[in-house]
Structure 1
Amino acid sequence: MADLRSRRLDMSRRHALKTFGGGAIAALGLTIGAPLLAAPVFRTYPFQLGVASGEPAPDGFVIWTRLAPDPLSIGYGMPAAAVEVEWLVASDERMRDIVARGTAYARPELGHAVHVAVAGLEPNRPYWYRFVVGRERSAIGRSRTTPSVGQPLDRLRFAVAGCQNYEEGYYTAHRFLAAEEADFVYCYGDYIYEYRENRFRNRSKGPVEVVRPHAGDEIYTIDDYRRRYAQYKMDVDLQAAHAAAPWFMTWDDHEIDNNWVGAIDQDGTPEALFNLRRQMAVQAYYEHMPLRASALPVGPAMQLYRQAQFGDLMDFNLLDTRQYRTDQPCDDKWGIPCKDIDGDNAQVLGQRQESWLFNKLGSSNARWQVLAQQVMMMDLDRMPGPEHTENLDSWAGYRVPRNRVLEQITTLGLDSVVVLTGDEHQNYAGELHMDGRRPGSKPIATEFVATSISSGGDGEDQRESTKAIQRENASLKWHNSQRGYVVCDVKSDRWMTEFKTVDCVTERGGQLRTRKRMTVEHGAPDSLSDG
């Protein structure tokens, strides 16, 4: 036994030497049975993945980092032991007036990620933060607390972004987003893509070489997912966007597997086995996002639906349209719908989340109510012609639960509901009707769909196919097929959405412009028009 313990100690010493350098052994406290809690000396910068904040509240927010000196290697350059990390929050950007500080442990069980729930701060103001480990300092991040509940609020300005396939473009849009000085960012999902490395993709005009390839095969294990998140988070433009404002995170499908719902994937994998993959994916998701401890995974499950309130101006309901959804109807095909889209037992939110949402809507006293979610609610005919064509991975494939949500909004007498959506890799602005595409009825709510950061490549201003869809669907008021993000400028009497687009993501140096402004007046969902 003594020989075995000696060999383990020797292995730990060699690992520490390789990771941190020769001066680290004494600082690490490498004695038999002693945890690695003292400050190490790193050979390579440990904050390779940047910093982030999220989940803002009136008295604080979550700050995040992950120690990873060698992000893409197995073990990512860290020892299998806890490391103490100091955190600081200041009222000024130079970090001179420290208003909160403490220590946290970066633990191997969570990939040496650090989640600190900072509290005791003043409402509705900016703060700055950083982390320190040993002699290393992270970048400085900026966060912001929310207004007190019910506090009169004149204006709110926030961004919406997501769908950032690493292989299909640079994160130019994130660099511009970082300069927006947004109160917060809502990420609707597809933060990573699970696909294997590809040298090229087949397009309608022939094969196109990818901009920058994924590292490795399709991802299944915890090491796979950690490595994929690390590759994405090493992008400095994404790091800049995270450091500029607090983020609210939700997921869509690619954080686990394309078009997954519940315990079902698109390949017919047995549920027990797919749940093992989900468990790896949701742990890695938590490790890399600025989420509260309430979202800590339990097996393959994770609590992501929640509400944030912004004074008396806006109630922001974040939804999860993947984890509790029933299987897509009609074999999950993009095309002519079958009778299953009218199934009485179909679910998108699941019964518990749906009841929670209806209670939140019913108790809201805010001027605006927001449904921040993932897949389109507008019921669009996607291929004009003699037969109706649906995207069955959207709410259009689930008519009964879609109608329940719209009926509840109507029953409650809510007339200023805005739905924020992603997934489509295009910009859309339109109206939600109980009767789908048919004109003549008053809209119930407004939907803004934000395009992708990079997924889909450069795109084009307006596709001919989508022009035809807009002609066929009176509820769709505008569309665009370029990359970018959305900025929502919210006042008591009107909501303005700015669609920000970049002209190129397949090469660096793309330029930003505000492609369109769309405005809807408070209490008048039929007023959607050019801003």
Structure 2
Amino acid sequence: MTPAHHRPSHQQPQAGTRFGTPFDAHARELRAAARHLNRRRFMTVTGAAAALAFSVGLPAAGAASAAELDAAQLTDDPFTHGVASGDPHPDSVLLWTRLAPTPYQADSGLPAQRVTVGWELALDERFRNVVRRGTATAHPEFHHTVHVEAGHLAPGHVYYYRFRAGRFVSPVGRTRTAPAERARSSALTFALASCQRYDQGYYTAYRHLAEDDVDVVIHLGDYLYEYAVNSSAGARAYPAGTLPDLFDHETVTLEDYRLRYALYKSDPDLRAAHAAHPFVVTWDDHETENNYAGDTPENSVPPEEFLLRRAAAYRAYWENMPLRRPQLPDGPDLPLYRRLHWGRLAQFDVLDTRQYRSNQAYGDGWQYPGPESEDPSRTLTGDAQERWLIDGWHRSDAVWNVVPQQVTFSRRHNSTTLPSKVSMDSWDGYPASRERVLAGAQAAGVRNLMVLTGDVHVHYGFDIKRDFDDPDSATLGTEIVTTSVTSGGNGSEKPANWDTYMAANPHMRFYNGRRGYATVSLGRELARVDYKTVPHVTTQGAPLTTAASFVTEVGDQGLKPA
């Protein structure tokens, strides 16, 4: 945990539970040790001056960090980025907003002063029955973002929330709490989204998702992309000069990342999805830099330069996501992996496969496996996170054990001729790491394993085999891979490699290259997966289609057509 005097004074931290489950003291110690080593490295390679930019000088709990701006002085609507909520517990939920009257400016049109923001939580969207209200501080040190941990709520309830600053009131958001810790919940429906490159299309999928009947949205990474966005927003083809030139370079500094979030959150369809549903988020690579691995950048830059960039990216990520206080970054480290529960129906182990991984073997890309990639010491999760995951499975009594993470878990051959190349950036590039996880799941007696994946801009459905070399080996679970929201452009129903992939990978049950999202409905007897697609994203208004539906049964894993 970050020391209290380094935390923003939005609210005092809540103690005791995450999603109604006691904190794992052993896991906390492991993560604290890892963060200590990373902080020490950060100080060594960047020097005190660079580290100070991300580690100190922040508002102390209960203390004023800057002069206060009277919210009555606001002349323009500050709620240009809407509202969001996330990580629901049985008795609390995280509420988020940001004050940005002029979002495309580095200072967002606000002075470097703190602003008091009011918030309300009600049982109805007209706020006739308000159950909680309070105030929070939008600190300039955190780009005037607000993170409210609204507690003392009833489990399994829908709530509506809003913020107020001066005479301005935010849009209304809808959220919910998780069921009670030991509740025998009978159903949960969640959506999967990932990969939303702004300049490669419109967020039509989010407009449909905002209207979909889901309990939670799980975002699996690539919320933004670090690449330059020109003044016409690429495929969106805005009138020339619509966007300022400040977006037309790759993100490197804290200001760069903050402004890129401002651009992405300007999209009304993304804001609508956030307002409609609570999100559970994890990152992939592009929130920082393409295909980085731990402290190793994609390109050959000095380590101190990349760690400073990583610190900037992680800081901006926490500021702009509906994340709780335990995820507050410290320099180039952010403890993102965490465990959530939906009663006794589902345990969610949210992974981070970027921050702790070994560098990609053989220079990355698609390569033939060999001694370098198969080295048993290589890891995708890091040792502490791997032990935390497997230990959590041993203690789980959930019907479904669900693992939201980033890159393709199941094996993918790209040729019917063996040996075949595999992706060094996915779990195929870390087969020993995957084997340890599968052995851990089997040893823990996990019956209904479901891995959730983004990254690859296509829909996949896999049966997770105990031995991918043997199609007849036990099926331990299923992997649901969601396509991108926009990344890759319009896509196609059957990409050029469709026939090859389906033939080369007998455990692959579905493959579709359109854009969209997926929904999963968990029950006590089976789960249903619906792969949803839109025909185009380079123009607006595309309809939504369910491309395919599958079920997997409790105690009899494997995807079957619904």
Q: Which residue of 1 aligns with 2:528?
A: 496
Partner of residue 146 from structure 2, selected from 114, 119, 128 = 114
Could you tell me which amino acid in structure 1 is paired with residue 219 of structure 2? C
Aligned positions of 1:35-184 closer than 5 A: 35-184=67-216
How has the CA–CA distance of structure 1 residues 210 and 39 changed in structure 2, closer, same or farther, with 3 Å as cutoff?
Answer: closer
Could you tell me which amino acid in structure 2 is paired with residue 366 of structure 1? A
Q: Which residue of 2 aligns with 1:363?
A: 395
Q: Hey, which bits of structure 1, 4+ residues long, moved more than 4 A?
A: 198-201, 208-214
C-alpha distance in 2, partners of 1:453/1:157? 19
Aligned residues of 1:64 and 1:115 also touching (Cα < 8 A): yes
C-alpha distance in 2, partners of 1:328/1:367? 34
Q: Is residue 486 from structure 1 mapped to residue 518 from structure 2 by the alignment?
A: yes
Aligned residues of 1:329 and 1:338 also touching (Cα < 8 A): no
Aligned residues of 1:181 and 1:245 also touching (Cα < 8 A): no
C-alpha distance in 2, partners of 1:387/1:369? 33
C-alpha distance in 1, partners of 2:302/2:236? 32
Q: Which residue of 1 aligns with 2:410?
A: 378
Q: Is residue 530 from structure 1 mapped to residue 545 from structure 2 by the alignment?
A: no
Secondary structure, counterpart of 1:517 in structure 2: strand
Could you tell me which amino acid in structure 1 is paired with residue 529 of structure 2? T
Partner of residue 345 from structure 1, selected from 368, 377, 381 = 377
The Cα of 1:40 is off from its aligned counterpart by 3.1
The unaligned stretches of length 5 or more in structure 2 are: 1-64
The Cα of 1:120 is off from its aligned counterpart by 0.3
Secondary structure, counterpart of 1:444 in structure 2: strand
Q: Which residue of 2 aligns with 1:455?
A: 487
The Cα of 1:298 is off from its aligned counterpart by 0.3
Aligned residues of 1:380 and 1:437 also touching (Cα < 8 A): no
Secondary structure, counterpart of 2:264 in structure 1: helix
Q: Which residue of 2 aligns with 1:10?
A: none
Partner of residue 472 from structure 1, selected from 496, 504, 523 = 504
CA-to-aligned-CA distance 1:113-139 (integer Å, 9 cap, x gap): 000000000000100000000000000
C-alpha distance in 2, partners of 1:69/1:266? 35
How has the CA–CA distance of structure 1 residues 464 and 200 changed in structure 2, closer, same or farther, with 3 Å as cutoff?
Answer: farther
Q: Which residue of 2 aligns with 1:30?
A: none
C-alpha distance in 2, partners of 1:54/1:331? 37
Partner of residue 409 from structure 1, selected from 441, 444, 469 = 441
Aligned residues of 2:231 and 2:248 also touching (Cα < 8 A): no
The Cα of 1:336 is off from its aligned counterpart by 2.3
Secondary structure, counterpart of 2:95 in structure 1: strand
Aligned positions of 1:240-319 closer than 5 A: 240-319=272-351
C-alpha distance in 1, partners of 2:416/2:307? 38
Could you tell me which amino acid in structure 1 is paired with residue 82 of structure 2? G
Partner of residue 185 from structure 1, selected from 217, 221, 224 = 217
C-alpha distance in 1, partners of 2:370/2:142? 44
Q: Which residue of 2 aligns with 1:4?
A: none
Could you tell me which amino acid in structure 1 is paired with residue 184 of structure 2? P
How has the CA–CA distance of structure 1 residues 401 and 102 changed in structure 2, closer, same or farther, with 3 Å as cutoff?
Answer: same
The Cα of 1:326 is off from its aligned counterpart by 0.6
Normalising by structure 1, report the TM-score: 0.90
The Cα of 1:250 is off from its aligned counterpart by 0.4
CA-to-aligned-CA distance 1:345-391 (integer Å, 9 cap, x gap): 10111111111111111101111101110001111102333541111
Secondary structure, counterpart of 1:57 in structure 2: coil
The Cα of 1:232 is off from its aligned counterpart by 0.3
C-alpha distance in 1, partners of 2:417/2:449? 32
Aligned residues of 2:230 and 2:248 also touching (Cα < 8 A): no
The Cα of 1:437 is off from its aligned counterpart by 4.5
Aligned positions of 1:319-330 closer than 5 A: 319-330=351-362
Secondary structure, counterpart of 2:120 in structure 1: strand
CA-to-aligned-CA distance 1:236-261 (integer Å, 9 cap, x gap): 00000000011001000000000011
How has the CA–CA distance of structure 1 residues 502 and 437 changed in structure 2, closer, same or farther, with 3 Å as cutoff?
Answer: farther
Aligned residues of 1:437 and 1:474 also touching (Cα < 8 A): no
The Cα of 1:273 is off from its aligned counterpart by 1.1
Aligned residues of 1:172 and 1:508 also touching (Cα < 8 A): yes
C-alpha distance in 1, partners of 2:214/2:477? 24
C-alpha distance in 2, partners of 1:211/1:243? 27
How has the CA–CA distance of structure 1 residues 219 and 479 changed in structure 2, closer, same or farther, with 3 Å as cutoff?
Answer: same
Secondary structure, counterpart of 2:274 in structure 1: helix
Could you tell me which amino acid in structure 2 is paired with residue 67 of structure 1? L
The Cα of 1:198 is off from its aligned counterpart by 4.8
Secondary structure, counterpart of 1:114 in structure 2: strand
Secondary structure, counterpart of 1:342 in structure 2: coil
The Cα of 1:421 is off from its aligned counterpart by 0.5
C-alpha distance in 2, partners of 1:119/1:494? 32
Q: Is residue 427 from structure 1 mapped to residue 459 from structure 2 by the alignment?
A: yes
Aligned residues of 1:62 and 1:117 also touching (Cα < 8 A): yes
Q: Is residue 509 from structure 1 mapped to residue 529 from structure 2 by the alignment?
A: no
Secondary structure, counterpart of 1:40 in structure 2: helix
Between the two proteins, what is the percent identity of the paired residues?
41
Across the aligned residues of Structure 1 and Structure 2, the Cα RMSD in angstroms comes to 1.7
Secondary structure, counterpart of 2:87 in structure 1: strand
The Cα of 1:225 is off from its aligned counterpart by 0.6
How has the CA–CA distance of structure 1 residues 66 and 55 changed in structure 2, closer, same or farther, with 3 Å as cutoff?
Answer: same
Report the count of equivalent residues: 492
C-alpha distance in 2, partners of 1:200/1:415? 50
C-alpha distance in 1, partners of 2:316/2:156? 31
C-alpha distance in 1, partners of 2:490/2:257? 27
Secondary structure, counterpart of 2:85 in structure 1: strand
CA-to-aligned-CA distance 1:172-228 (integer Å, 9 cap, x gap): 000100111311110001000000135899xxxxxx956467922101111111110
The Cα of 1:518 is off from its aligned counterpart by 1.0
Aligned residues of 1:380 and 1:436 also touching (Cα < 8 A): no
Aligned positions of 1:432-451 closer than 5 A: 432-451=464-483
Aligned residues of 2:66 and 2:113 also touching (Cα < 8 A): no
Q: Which residue of 1 aligns with 2:21?
A: none
The Cα of 1:435 is off from its aligned counterpart by 2.4
Q: After the TM superposition, which of the residue ranges 437-446 and 253-262 deviates more from structure 2?
A: 437-446
C-alpha distance in 2, partners of 1:350/1:235? 35
Q: After the TM superposition, which of the residue ranges 168-177 and 459-468 deviates more from structure 2?
A: 459-468
Q: Which residue of 2 aligns with 1:7?
A: none
The Cα of 1:269 is off from its aligned counterpart by 1.5
Could you tell me which amino acid in structure 2 is paired with residue 356 of structure 1? W
